Amino acid sequence: MSPGRLLAWGGLAALVWLARGLLLPIFLAAALAYLLSPAVAWADALAIRRSVAVGALFAAIVAVLVGGGFLLGPGMLAEGGALMDRLPALARQIDVGLDAVVRELAETAPALRRLLPEGGAWVQRFVLNRGPGEPGDLFEHVGHLFLIAILVPFFAFFLLRDMHRIIAVAMDRLPPQHVETSVAVWRELNGVIGRYIRGVVLDGLVVGALAALGLWASRVPYPLLLGAFAGLANVVPFVGPLLSAAAAGLVVVLTPGQGLAGVGRVVLLFLVIKVLDDTIIQPFTIGRSVHLHPALLLGSVVVGSHAAGVLGMIVAVPVATVLQETVRLLLEHRRVLARRRRPPERLVV
Amino acid sequence: MFDQPLPRWLGWAADPDQLRRTPFLASSPLFTGLPRRLLARLATRFFEKMYHPEEVVFEEGDPGRALFVVVEGAVEITRATAQGPYVLNTLGPGDAFGELALIDDFPRSATARVVTPGRLLILYKSDFDALIEGNARIAVVVMRNLSRRLALYARRSPVIATQPGSETAGPL
């Protein structure tokens, strides 16, 4: 490699390192672009200019968000504020509820008494340890969230509008004899990622709706909020459904009159939803986009969690799928090249 | 209603590339018989690339992953023989080559080389497969046209061809 090229690659690596804070917004923007790309493809087929189609799409999204904000915003802000005010008292109430469940369990099954934790105030300790720190920290967090909220649609807009031009430029720069195979590999991976992201979002919507409906039928409070959480948490394999079931179980514990039977109903509901999700919903939504072995799936989630926390758990599956597909395509490429030695059978009529 | 092109008063919002590409594909024998709506969808899946003279599109033995349609320029299809490359055919605007990549994953049976500056439309197998999953009619029409080409080729060369002079240009 020439010194100039080495310098250029080094400069690029340094630039990426300096801009690493943009990785999360770019990742979220790419996910949003994948989600919206079928609408843009539909506009392409109608011969609508990309800039017009993407502009109209974002205008429609902004209109829906502004409308929704006017309708639901004040209520949600009021609920959020009230929840923050009530947080210490709520933590105390949760601890009392948890104590009651532990006592009930100990009375139901005395053999378990030794296994059950002693003491209490676990949630209060958790909440107090994670309360708002310095005002500066709070502003930093709010500023970071605001930046993400601005940057994600900004990047997504330009990805949707200009991606075909970027590809055209890249294809013109590639050596002609490599265009077919390299772009083919990228197209396959692109298809897998797109189907996975759209499938996960659709899956989350269905699971969230089912959870909300089931919780409402079981008379659990806040079914919409818990359903929305179940839909969002569903993005993380294995851990997500457990978290949403735990949150719903916690609400049941806090609700007078539900007791252990209520917790049992919630656990059963989330088990049924999980089975339905694995057997019926996912084959329709995510379908054939992901073929990861369950052990590999779990392993990727664990590795993702260690590497980048919750974000790592979310991106673990698509990253593992891309790696697996890349290896599969490279092996297939080798297999096809091996056929060069054998001439294909001629058509004889 | 969505099958119609944009009305004239919305001309400013029209994509000139797509407006040019759809009727161009309609003129290609491989896509004859496809309704405009499906042609428009198919056209969105193509990539366009400029080629300079003497640039190789693919070589004999390369894995086949895409179909090519000549938009501008000329493409020479050659096969290696003991006496050197033998020209099977020279293709011009509207001609398609590499179409067997849409069917199987056998290596290319000939080399395609651009002889005059040109532009090619490229349709990748994965994009074609994704499109026909929801539109079986595209698959039926394209495969029927492809079968006709194969039948024509089979009738032209009914026996195993071993001499370069007895070969004809068929699907790649």
Residue-wise pLDDT tens digits, B61-119? 888 889 999 999 999 999 988 888 899 999 999 999 998 888 887 888 899 999 999 99
Q: Is residue A147 part of a domain?
A: yes
| Residue A153 φ/ψ region, left for φ over 0, alpha for ψ in the -120 to 50 degree band, beta for the rest | alpha
B59 touches chain A (CB under 8 A): yes
Cα of B92 to nearest chain A Cα, Å: 19
Distance CA B151, CA B170 (A): 10
3-class SS of residue B77:
strand
The pLDDT value recorded for residue A64 is 93
> Which residue from B14, B19, B48 is facing A168, i.e. has the nearest CB?
B48
Q: Given an 8 Å threshold on Cβ–Cβ distance, is B43 in contact with A50?
A: no
Average of per-residue pLDDT across A152-156: 93
The pLDDT value recorded for residue B112 is 94
Range of the domain at A29: 22-123+135-173
Cα of B145 to nearest chain A Cα, Å: 18
How high is the mean pLDDT of chain B?
85
- Please name which of A191, A328, A46 lies closest in space to residue B39, comparing C-alpha atoms: A46
Q: What is the pLDDT of residues A269-325, one digit of tens each?
A: 999 999 998 888 888 777 666 667 778 878 888 888 888 777 788 888 888 888 888
Q: Is the pTM of this model over 0.90?
A: no
Cα of B159 to nearest chain A Cα, Å: 6
Q: Is residue A276 part of a domain?
A: no
- Please name which of B71, B24, B32, B56 lies closest in space to residue B149, comparing C-alpha atoms: B32
Q: Is residue A274 part of a domain?
A: no
Q: Is residue A180 part of a domain?
A: no
Q: Given an 8 Å threshold on Cβ–Cβ distance, is A45 in contact with B124?
A: no
- Both structure tokens of A188: 């396959």
CA distances from A217 to A154, A211, A262, A263, A267 (A): 41, 10, 12, 14, 14
* Residues in B touching A177 (Cβ below 8 Å): 56-59, 62
- Residue A60: which pLDDT band, with cuts at 50, 70 and 90? very high
A50 touches chain B (CB under 8 A): yes
Domains for chain B: give ranges and CATH numbers: 33-157 (2.60.120.10)
- Both structure tokens of A244: 């949403």
- Residue B1: which pLDDT band, with cuts at 50, 70 and 90? very low
Predicted confidence (pLDDT) at residue B50 exceeds the cutoff of 70: yes
ipTM of the complex model: 0.77
Total domain count for chain A? 1
Q: Tell me which chain A residue has its CA closest to the CA of residue B50.
A: A172
Q: Is residue A326 part of a domain?
A: no
- Both structure tokens of A159: 């990805």
Interface-testing mutation among A330, A336, A342, with chain B (most B C-beta atoms within 10 A): A336
Q: Tell me which chain A residue has its CA closest to the CA of residue B119.
A: A172
B41 touches chain A (CB under 8 A): yes
Q: Is residue A330 part of a domain?
A: no
| Lowest mean pLDDT across A131-140, A192-201, B24-33, B40-49 | A131-140
Q: Tell me which chain B residue has its CA closest to the CA of residue A288.
A: B130
